[in-house]
Structure 1
Amino acid sequence: FVNGYAGCSTGQQWDAMTYRVFDRKLPLFNVSMPMLWGNKPDAGYLRGEEWTEVSRYVEGQLRELVEFLEHRTGRPFDWDALSESISYIKRASELRLEGMELCKQAPTPATYWDWVASIAPINFLPGNQDLVDYFAGVKTEIEQRIADGVGAVANERYRVYFDGIMNWNKLGFLTRKFAEYDVAVVAGRYTHESFWQEPQLIDVDNPLLGMAQHYLLCPLNHGLKNLQELLLRRLDEYAIDGIAFHSTRTCRAMTNPQAMLARAAEAERGVKSFFFEGDVADASFYNDELFDSRLEAMLEAIDVQRMKSAV
């Protein structure tokens, strides 16, 4: 087993339980992923002494992992195969980001929910041409929608950012629900701040450092300073009117900073927000009446802001 979770203790527990299922007879290699606290004066997203030191620390562990694999298999590690795989991942990531860039325009041609549906390929498909072809197709489809004047939401009146891991049991339901209120959910922390989202960090000829850095950039692994920086950037880039905070019951690592992020968004950008409870697996935590009332309250507050601005 290779265990390497950034900011997610649940994942470590899964592996520990699986390890016991196999009577602890299989070897376990743990890659430690330090939290990016961002407390030092020079700290920030992708910058500062902490970022450099922690990146090198995890890179060193990946080199130790290579030695571990060579020892267990009795074979030399295939660096050429890794470089080839990473080259496909890098290109697919670039295409993915280019597609996201196109969605900054209004009305948006694709929504957060479309990017949710595209998580599996970037996360699980092997690094090969199929992965590149998939995201090339996604980008082409978005470009065609723009050319045809087709928006993702029939009558886009509000642009919303989604913070929190999705409640997978309600994806289609929430997609339709937001659209009924003329809301385009255009971006989110889980989709836009993870899954090889900084391809410029990848050196295909020396891939371990870029790999280490992407593992560290898990959206659960940042201190509040970095999270606020990222959120405010997205609010500006996507012209966000409001934020939907999904308070996931079984992922407190994601929900812990949400109240502080909501305060920062309103204080720094005047962006309203609402909270609703749910879960990544258990649909019983979701309450439709509460969701409707809170979403409606936020949209009314946005309307009031717009009327005041128009005076």
Structure 2
Amino acid sequence: MRYIKHEDSQLHFAQTDKPALKDNEVLIAVAAIGVNRADCLQRQGKYPASKGDSEILGLECAGTIVEQGSAVSGDWLNKRVFALCAGGAYSEYVAVDAVQVMSLPDEMTMAEGAAISEVYLTAFSALFQFGQLKAGQTALIHAGASGVGGAAIQMAKRAGAQVVITAGSDEKCEHAKQLGADHTINYKTTDFVEYFKANNLQANTIVDPVSGSYLNKNAAVAAMDCQIVMLAFLDARFAEVDFARLLSKRISFHASTLRNRSIEFKRDLKEQFISRFYDDLANGLFDCNIYKTLNWQEANEAHRILDNNENSGKVVMLVE
């Protein structure tokens, strides 16, 4: 099969064997691939695949099942699906744990399916598993115009929460507002701590891929018993921490990644997401938030867009 190889921080096509299926897996003929910042970091040599996972890039895809393992229950052959992948999605075929596969609604395109799994499951885990967000509360979502940010906005609103986001331009703030954000803050022109004070806001759940200098600022806007969920450290790896403020507000801090979670965790996460939001997704209540769709021959351009932080929403590649 063809796949996209990363070498010296560049992407190009190469040939390899199809994945050998385990008993619990299905083989997906990939039609569309969701592009994520983790892919860019792996291309740069900064985020290697977890032990035992495919070295090929790609954490989510949509496609058609063409083979299934002996322990897989039900008949999945020829079914349209979307799925979270343990790497390997930048290819014509990818093997995926069958329990993590989700049926793609007839009304949704392959491109839309490829834009869901990684960002929606990441956002769901941050907001509800660790963030404990409830109706009537306030969620602060940093990088609100990103793929994860857009998913988090929509699920938080569907759950009955108030949503405040930060983003790096007025255009990105407007994009987040269109997805349902109640308050949008351009962090380049407005300090979000001052905005919270001026608008009498406090955050119950904070989803933060920035970290660094944001840690103490998050604590400043946090409500009592706030849950801060760190997904990355785009600002800085290290920071000085005001522990007195964390203690006085009983703030809980969670550092979470999805890629290196156990298969059991990912299965449970998928089931929780399906139980709560799949019908909304299938009924068109969520925007899949696609910024641009490219042919997979344009993989370097797809990564350039993410490297330069140009996108509001997801970049998807079609396998043609």
* Fold shared, TM-score > 0.5 on shorter chain: no
Larger helix proportion of the pair: 1
Q: Which has the higher contact order (CA 8 A, sep 6+)?
A: 1
- Structure with the greater alpha carbon radius of gyration: 1
More strand by share: 2
TM bucket (normalised to shorter chain) is under 0.3
Alignment TM-score, normalising by the size of structure 2: 0.25
TM-score, normalised with respect to structure 1? 0.25
